A and B are shown apart, each in its own frame.
Chain A
Amino acid sequence: MKRKATGTAALLLSVMMVASACGSSSNNGKGDTASPSGSASSSAQASASPEASQAPVEVTLAGWGSSPEEQALLQQVLDEFQTKNPNIKVKYEVIADQYMDVIKTRLIGNEAPDVFYLDAFEAPGLIEKDVLEPLDGYVTDDFDLGDFEQPAVDAFKAKDGKIYGFPKDTSTLALFYNKKMFADAGITAPPTTWDELQAVSEKLTKKKGNKVEVYGLGQAPELARQMFMLNAFGGKLADDQGMAAFDTPEALQGLQLVVDQHLKAGTAGQPSDVGAGWGGEMFGQQKAAMVLEGNWAIPYLQTNFKDLDFGTAEVPTVNGKKGTMAFTVAYVMNKQSQHKEAAWKLLSYLTGKEGMKTWTSKGFALPTRKSVSAELGYDKDALRGALVAGSSYATPWQAGSSLPTIMNNFNNQFIAAYTNKSSLADAMKKAQETANKEIKAGS
């Protein structure tokens, strides 16, 4: 079995090398023949003559997998687009696992899709590598740039101000709470401060002997979910040079709250403590009375746990300040794309008012355009209101191109502190040192 695995790995590596070798050579070829504008200056191409309007152009679109309902909804948007643009055919691909690894490898091999999803947290890294097409030159007045929520667009801006992607949807974190458990414990309203949260967690935790059956709060001990706790007392993740800088008393103070509630109070746990895969599942199986999750959990809970009676509220304040995380995903265009005009048509339709309205109409995702938000009225929605409210004060899940390295080291060490294998201070010190070493060596 292991030998087979190495065989596969070796094959993968060799295929990659061959692919990359072919890629670079065919790249040179393309420069001379296929694209008439030579080394493709984007803004010049934007207003170029309409490309071959007779022959249908095939544009590939790639994203990660999601629920069948979401897939069907996206297909509906794509069908609408194709009826409006009969000479563009959209080939939609789903990359099931390790999305970024696959996309990067395909970018190297010049086999990347024309348009693809990109999470804000990976955006600075790809922008720095110069593999994405700057989109400013394509934008027309009809597209209405000002309509987007500003932070969502800023997440895909380079340092020089060029925009490399337009947000397709976004979500913040909110407090999901189990209404029945709250009623049983005699709690009338969801907690609004972190002290209250800890107090109600105490009441909601149910133990059988030594074993916890229901945790008051389900936690996700990872950076993507805890960065706002790190910021709550004035800590920050990275400095201006992109080096990790979270080993400070301010940052530790917020994180300590998370760790202490698990280790000292015993009223919070991670999903694997109760045999669940993630927070939404833990909450749905009623093994946690509260979790901090995003919009994605709402359709999941509604389809998989139909009897569950739950509500949402804004994340309780920490240190007297509101805080939460914001996750944004954009459509970006591959710089090597052969059909940039068509790709832009697709991208601008998907992130335009019409496409976004259909895409977000069922509540699987929250819109990033103000006009669409206002039209769909999610700010007044019983479940989604809290998520929409969070966007005004949320910490975006992004911190420069070194974030993936920082995240990996943070997560590894934070778990050590979370499972009481080392003190939080030691763990964070180690995480910062290792991350900075890796960032320095890699640059």
Chain B
Amino acid sequence: MAKPGGKRRGMEALAGYGFMSPVILILGCFLLLPILYAIFLSLHKVNLLGHVSYKFTGTANFERMADDPRLWIALRNTAKYALIVVPCQTILALVLAAILNMKIRFRNFFRVAFYLPTVTSSAVLVLIFMWIYNRNGLLNYLLDAVGLPTYNWLGDPTVALFGIMIMNIWSTAPLFMVIYLAALQDIPDSLYEAASIDGANAWQKFWKITVPQLKPVTFYVLVMGIVGTFQLFDQSYIFSAGSGGPNNATLTMVLLIYQYAFKNMDMGYASALAFMLAVVIMLITVVQRLLFKEDKAN
């Protein structure tokens, strides 16, 4: 194309932005502005109830974090939760996907059945699980039937978080299973055929072909898993009726932010915490990226 002159390009750009304007406006209003406003709030002491006031306090809200024992409890809970849930749900998703990728009977039925937990509303799931976890509920009944000790799943601080973990692994794994399933079907059959000719067994094929081929998808699943686990809110909120109890056992980062924002009405500190959470998630993602890249270089 010969140089059509700056005017035409300008017009094109204008038309382009014109078409994009609805998205830009919506994202700007509901994504960008709130983020900027949250950063603004995090540097202020905010009083919204009654006499509205914003007092600039610099980094006071961030300094306060170091001396907030509940923040460290929430971080520890969240980290513990992520460390257990992310590997479990990733492995479970991979295994489920591998099973569904095989030529088994009633494959479509299993696909639907496995995916159901993900399409069910999480509030409903939590309520159902609270029945299962009831002192006289299904889980304790089963544990009792096979002679294992039973727990007060809802009231005992040592097992309360564990209960939420089980529930979440069960409900989130199918989402990642679908992603894995799509990726599995992208792996060319020729690779498996070649391996068969070389005399590889099923396990070797899985370990040497499937898993390495799935690496980019695994990266995605891990990142999304970690982001999701760090943002755990609704389950622990319903589980503990908003308190994070028993004994702070189900207090997660987002629940803590919610408590500061809407119970204590301390928007400044809550925004600072939210900002900190975003930074933590970003850091973890960057570290993961580096790890995965290193592997690629080898």
Please give the residue numbers on chain A whose beta carbons come within 8 Å of chain B beta carbons, in ascending order.
1-6, 8-11, 13-14, 17, 20, 24, 98, 100-101, 104-105, 107-108, 129-131, 270, 272-275, 404-405, 408, 411-413, 415-416, 419, 421, 433-434, 437-438, 441-442
Contacts and interface: CB of A to CB of B under 8 A. Distances in A.
B154 to A, nearest CB: 5
Interface string B155-195: 11110000000001001100100000000000000000000
Interface in B138-166: 152, 154-158
Nearest to A107: B49
B286 interface: no
A272 B49 contact: no
19 contacts: A3-B227, A8-B234, A9-B258, A17-B34, A98-B242, A98-B262, A104-B262, A129-B50, A129-B51, A273-B135, A408-B259, A412-B245, A415-B157, A415-B247, A419-B155, A419-B157, A434-B69, A437-B67, A441-B67
A77 B95 CA distance: 62
B231 interface: yes
B228 A2 contact: yes
Interface in B32-68: 33-34, 37-38, 48-52, 64, 67-68
Interface string B232-269: 11100000001111111000001000110111111001
Nearest to A433: B69
A433 B244 CA distance: 18
A88 B234 CA distance: 40
B243 A412 contact: yes
Contacts of B135: 272-275
Q: Is the interface of A mostly helix, strand, loop or mixed?
A: helix
B70 interface: yes
B285 interface: no
Nearest to A100: B263
Interface of B: 30, 33-34, 37-38, 48-52, 64, 67-70, 118, 122, 125, 134-137, 152, 154-158, 168, 171-172, 175, 224, 227-229, 231-234, 242-248, 254, 258-259, 261-266, 269
B52 A24 contact: yes
A105 B38 CA distance: 17
Contacts of B263: 100-101, 404, 408
A14 B243 contact: no
B235 to A, nearest CB: 8
B68 A437 contact: yes
B231 A412 contact: no
Given A5-B122, A272-B154, A104 B244 contact: no
